[in-house]
Each structure stands twice: as structure tokens, then as C-alpha cells.
Structure 1
């Protein structure tokens, strides 16, 4: 029986981890402790899951006491990104296994600390990169492993975040680099990890540009220069295109507006998820383009934009024997036009195109969540012929690329991954 403690009762913690543990995997997994800086979050968690009523709760300063009292074997880290490193390091000091939400940490320096600590611990860190488990992403991995496109030479990946999803990052703590590492870390590490995993090559060098084009005080659609507004009390929200795109004038802000999630402002302490997307304090970028060079010759051309009319991505992977392409339109209910069913198109270097229809699975994040949950809480599927769960190395490389992207965009020069991670991680591999 795994004895699990959960550090950080975020929505991701409740939906992605606590709920499936209690409903599907409770035969061999038991939640024995809850930790959060805000006791109101603990109260709400127990209201939603009465099974946890008698589970003891702790503050961040009580971590060691929690571990001793609960006899925990596993720690799930789903707190704010910048606090991940604290819980991971403490867990490894106690020889506990860790399941960390992505990103593992927010800086390369912290990634090095985690890798080094794991090397001295009996515990192991798993990073919950659920994008790997999406059926299309697994199929892409399998096509590459089969050798159908030969040695990978280049990748084009363009990611699009729509105005509904994109604006949400700028309403919350994610908009501050000190908390999130910026969106090239908080969000793009998902994408960098996918590419690293697909092609099984190590990133070496990054050059990038980045900008804040849509949000922040200079956003062109900012109704005025007033600072420190909140959607729930703002007198200008009907002049804000981002607000009116997803909200009707008759909406009851405190009850029905799921986009700004105003219910949280009454339930949590010192936290509002409806801060103005045009606030002056925003210090991250909303647009990136980047080139990444890999150790076996592959080149990645990557872009991401956090204010697009639709959500999804376009991907092409070229190799010495052919090419694969796919395009996803995410969350079809938010796409205001008909979209084609996603397929994977395979083009051999010499021959006819093959259209691959991928078997879908139910569940969140494109059907990937239930499968990673099985690997995390039942054990890795023994019938899968390739590794898919991510560890500290994958976590560290994804963070290093994300950090290199924003550093390169600020310094106008290429950034060496070796300079960020040092020889320690490279010598381990």
C-alpha cells in the first residue's frame, strides 16, 4: 500500500490526482496527509471528498512532522511552481518517492539540486508529463521507433493558445516570472519534453526571440491605463474584448462565469484568479519563436502564441527516410468553425502518402490522463515496449530549454544548455 501525502491542493491536485486515487486506485494507494499554506483549501478539499475528513492536515513548515506522523512513502507535489523544489528536496532527504506536476522546478539551478539530491536518495522523482500519453503523441513515438522516417533531422512545432486559455495565465500567479519561470517554462516545458522524448536526442543550444504583445499595460486592447483591476469588480469589463468574448452582459459573475472562476475569490485566502490581464506587474512574454539544436543533429523550430483565435498545434517531423505531419484543433467547443478530424500523415521519402487514423481513448488532456494515472498508481504497463514516464533528467532538460528561450530572448544570444545545467547532469548520461 502506497501511503501518499499531497503538497498543494490546487485544482490540478484535486482533479488529476486525488479524485482518481480515491475512486479508482484506492486498493493499493491511500492518501494519509494533506499540506497547503491555505487552510481554506484544505477545508474545501475535504468538503469535496468526504473520504478525507479524518486525514490530518499540515502547513508547509510541518513537512518533516507530516512525513514522520503519517509514515508516508510517496509525495505528490502540486503546489505553485516555484515551491516544487522545496517539497521535492525535502522528500528526497526522507528517501521518499515523488510525483511532481510539471514543471518539475522553475530554474536550471533548482533542477541541478533535484538531480543531485536524487542521486543521494533512495527516493525517485517522476514528473507528470501527461502530454506524452495523448494517443497521437504515443503513436508519433511509435512511428519514429519503427524507423519509418529514419534519423530525425528537423522538427517544426507551432503551438497556439486561444484567448480563453491564454488570458487565464495572465489573471493568476503565472504572470510573474518569480513564481512560474515564465510561460516558456510553465507551459512550453510540456512541448520541449515531447520533442526531447519523441526524437530521443539531448538539447544543446537555444536561440530565441520573445515578446509581450497582447497582455500587460501596453496591450493594444487595454480599455485604460488603470492598474490593479479585477474582473469581478471592474467597471470597464464591458469594454474589454477578452472579457466580452467569453462572457455575456447578463452573466452572474459570482455564480456562472467559469472563465474567471470568481467562486475562488470567496473560498481561498489571499488569492484571486481574476486579476486584470493588463496589469503593470506582468513581467513575462506571451509570444516566442525559438530554434533548438540537438546532440545528434536534429534542429527544432518552435513557436507559441498565447492569444490566438483557436487552440491547437501544427507539427511536422522530418527524417532521412520520410516525414510525418499532424494538426490538432483543441477543445472543439471553442473553435468557431468546422475542423477536420485529426490524423497523422506519413510521407515516405520515395512513395505514397499514408493517412494514419489513431485509436482514441477517453479522458482529460486528449485521453492521456487516465493512462498516466494507471502508470503512476498501478505501476508501469509491462506490455508497453518503450519508456514513457519521465524522471529528473527529462524534467531538467525541459526546464533548461524553457529557461534558455527567455534568456536568449532577453540577451539576444544563443544559450548553451551545458551552461545552464553544468557538467553534472551531462556526465550522468
Structure 2
């Protein structure tokens, strides 16, 4: 029986790890400890999962005691991004395996520390990059490995986050770069890891532009310049287009924050956590729009963009190679798309020949069906029939973070950023 402790009893921990461990994977796995800074989260967790009633709970200051008392085989880390580094390093120091949500940490210097610590430890790090496991993303990986497009020369990836999801990052702690690394780390590491994995190359250099276009005090939709507002008590929310788009006056909306259980905040306000801060506050210190170019050590180039206030959610991808091209477009969160859209397919264009359209069976589950397969790999071991590596470790986590940090540093410093230099430098604050 493998034993797990959970550091950070977030909604992600509840839905992604605790629920599956107690249900689908309980035969050979058990949860032996919960750690969080807010006791109210233990209440929510144990109300939802009564099986955990007798499982001991710990505060962050009791991490060592938790490890000594429960002797876990794995530490699962699913709390706020800036808390990851401490739990990862302390777990590795004790030779314990780590399963961490992305981003692994919030900056490249800490990512380098994790790689160094893992090299000296009996424990290993798994980063839960679930986008790798989508059937479309696995198929693209397989097509590249089969040589369908030859040597990859360039990738064009344009990502769109809609006005509901995008605004949610600016209502919470994600809007503070010290806590999240900024959205080029917190969110875009998903995308950078996907490209790194497809290419099987290491990023070398990044140049980027970025701006705060939609949120912050100068956002064009700001109904009134005033700090420290919250949607729940705001006097001008009826004049806020972002609020009224997703919160009709009837109160009948069923849309909830992607990172909260529906209704939990209204019933139990977590300590020091309000997910309804104003998206137009002056304290916002991150960007909401990026364009970036990445050069890889194998010669490939990435052209990337992301917009956190788009009319719909999804992405457009093209991968060019010496023998052909792959294209696909995904429309995500269909319940929030106000127009007809096509089902996702993969289009393959050989350099000389006819187009081929590939349709795939979609898996149930979150992140395009990736979550359930990721969990199988974590709790049952990697699929022995899969002919390529897919599970991400500390190095993959580190290079995705390094690209994300290089993006915002390039924006601030107005120059290209070299990845290896960034990974090995001491942490500084800009």
C-alpha cells in the first residue's frame, strides 16, 4: 500500500487527486495526511469525503512532523504556486517522491534548485502536465515520431483564454507575480511544456513582447477607477461588462470559477482568500497579452501568443516540417462559446500530395480527456504499451518555467533571454 500526503487542500487537490485516490485507485493507495494553512479547507474536504474523517491534519509549520508521523511514499503538492518550492525541496531532502501541480515552482532559479536536489535524492519529481495526455496531443506526438512531417522547422501556437476564465486570474492571487510567476509561468508553462515535449528539444533563447491591455486600472471596460473593490460588494458591478457577461441579474448563472467548487465560497469563505477581487485594481502587476519567439537547440523555432480576454476559449496550432505540416484548432469550454464551431480534427498536409484529415475518439475527463490517463500513469505506473515517454519530471518542469520567466523578463528588459543563464542565476526580483 502506497501512502500519500496532500500539501494544499485546494479544489484542484480535491477533484484531481483526493477523489480519484479514494475511489478509482484506493486498492493500492491511501491518503495518510492533509496539510494546509486554512483549517476551513479541512472541513470542506472531510465533508465531501467522509472517508478522510480520521486522517490527521497539519499546518505548514508541521510539515516535518507530518512526514515523521505518517511516513509517506509520495507528497502531492497542489497549493498556491509559491508554496511548491519549500515542500518539494524538503520532500526530496528526505528521499520522498513528489507529485506536483504545474507550474512546478514560480521561477527558473528555484526550478534549478529542484533539479539539483532531485539529482542528490532517492526521491523523484512528477509534474502533472495533463495537456500532454489529450488524445489530440498524443496523436501529434506520434505523427512527429513517425516522421510524417520530417524535421520540425517551426511551430505556430496561438492560445485564447475567454473573458470568464481570463478574468478569473485577475480576481485572485495569480495577479501577483511573486505568488504565481505571472501568467507566462502559471498558465503558459502548460503550452511551453507541450511544445518542448513534441519537439524533444531544449529551448535556448526567448524574445517577447507583452502588455496589460484589458485588466488593471487603465482597462477600457473599468466602470470607475477605484481600488480594493470586490464583486460581492461592488457598487458599480452592474456597469462592469466582465461581471454582467457571466452574472445575469436573475442570478440564474451556473458558471463558476474554474478553480473553485460551485457554491463553496458562498457558504464557507476561506481564510484570507477572496476570488472576487476587482480585475481593475492598481495592484495587478502582470501582463494579459504576450507574443514570443523561442529558439530551440535542435533548430526549431516557436512563434507563440496568448490573450487572456478573448471572445472564446481555445487554440490554433500549426507545426511545419521538412516533409509536411500539421494543423489543428480546438474550441474549449463549449458551454461558453456563443456560436457554432467545428469539432476538432488534425489536418496533415504532406509537402507534396493531398491533405489528410484525422478524426479521433475523445476521452471523457478534464483537460480534453487528459486527466484520467495522467492519473493512471501516476497511480498505476506508466502504460507499458505506450512506445514513448510522456510523464514529465523535474527537468521538463524546469524548462517550461524557464521559458515562461524568460518571456516576462524579455518584456521588462527589452532584450532576448538565454535559458541556461536564467536557470542557473540566483533569484532576483524585477
Is TM-score (shorter-chain normalized) higher than 0.5? yes
2:402 and 2:238 map into 1 onto residues whose CA distance is 41
Q: Which residue in 2 is equivalent to 1:15?
A: 15
Q: Which residue in 2 is equivalent to 1:165?
A: 165
Q: Which residue in 1 is equivalent to 2:104?
A: 104
1:423 and 1:86 map into 2 onto residues whose CA distance is 19
Aligned pairs (5 A) from 1:88-127: 88-127=88-127
Choose 353-362 or 27-36, whichever is displaced more.
353-362
Q: Which residue in 2 is equivalent to 1:249?
A: 249
Q: Which residue in 1 is equivalent to 2:5?
A: 5
Aligned pairs (5 A) from 1:321-360: 321-360=323-362
Residue 317 (structure 2) pairs with residue 315 (structure 1): yes
Secondary structure, in 3 states, of the residue corresponding to 1:32? strand
Pair 19,262 (structure 1): closer, same or farther in 2 beyond 3 Å: closer
2:286 and 2:321 map into 1 onto residues whose CA distance is 34
Secondary structure, in 3 states, of the residue corresponding to 1:267? coil
8 Å Cα contact 1:41/1:267 also seen in 2: no
Aligned length: 422
Counterpart of 1:374 (choices 373, 376, 389) is 376
Secondary structure, in 3 states, of the residue corresponding to 1:243? helix
1:421 and 1:233 map into 2 onto residues whose CA distance is 43
8 Å Cα contact 1:262/1:274 also seen in 2: no
Q: Which residue in 1 is equivalent to 2:51?
A: 51
1:68 and 1:267 map into 2 onto residues whose CA distance is 32
How far does residue 258 in structure 1 lie from its aligned partner after superposition? 2.7
2:309 and 2:362 map into 1 onto residues whose CA distance is 28
Residue 62 (structure 2) pairs with residue 62 (structure 1): yes
> What TM-score do the two structures reach when normalised by structure 2?
0.96
1:142 and 1:378 map into 2 onto residues whose CA distance is 23
User: Any idea what the Cα deviations from partners look like across 1:62-103, whole Å, max 9, x if unmatched?
Assistant: 111101101111000001001100000010011000000000
Runs of 5+ in structure 1 lacking a partner?
425-429
8 Å Cα contact 1:262/1:273 also seen in 2: no
Secondary structure, in 3 states, of the residue corresponding to 1:352? coil
User: Any idea what the Cα deviations from partners look like across 1:279-313, whole Å, max 9, x if unmatched?
Assistant: 11000000000000000110000000000000100
2:183 and 2:323 map into 1 onto residues whose CA distance is 34
Q: Which residue in 1 is equivalent to 2:71?
A: 71
Q: Which residue in 2 is equivalent to 1:183?
A: 183
8 Å Cα contact 2:109/2:425 also seen in 1: no
Secondary structure, in 3 states, of the residue corresponding to 1:153? strand
Residue 245 (structure 2) pairs with residue 258 (structure 1): no
How far does residue 235 in structure 1 lie from its aligned partner after superposition? 1.1
1:60 and 1:214 map into 2 onto residues whose CA distance is 36
1:111 and 1:272 map into 2 onto residues whose CA distance is 29
In the TM superposition, structure 1's runs of 4+ consecutive aligned residues that sit over 2 Å from their partners are: 256-263
2:403 and 2:272 map into 1 onto residues whose CA distance is 32
How far does residue 13 in structure 1 lie from its aligned partner after superposition? 0.4
> What TM-score do the two structures reach when normalised by structure 1?
0.96
Runs of 5+ in structure 2 lacking a partner?
none
Aligned pairs (5 A) from 1:126-141: 126-141=126-141
Q: Which residue in 2 is equivalent to 1:306?
A: 308
How far does residue 2 in structure 1 lie from its aligned partner after superposition? 1.0
How far does residue 380 in structure 1 lie from its aligned partner after superposition? 0.7
Residue 381 (structure 2) pairs with residue 383 (structure 1): no
Secondary structure, in 3 states, of the residue corresponding to 1:284? coil
- When the two chains are superposed, the root-mean-square deviation of aligned CA atoms in Å is 1.4
Residue 396 (structure 2) pairs with residue 394 (structure 1): yes
Counterpart of 1:278 (choices 268, 277, 280) is 280
8 Å Cα contact 2:109/2:424 also seen in 1: no
Secondary structure, in 3 states, of the residue corresponding to 1:206? strand
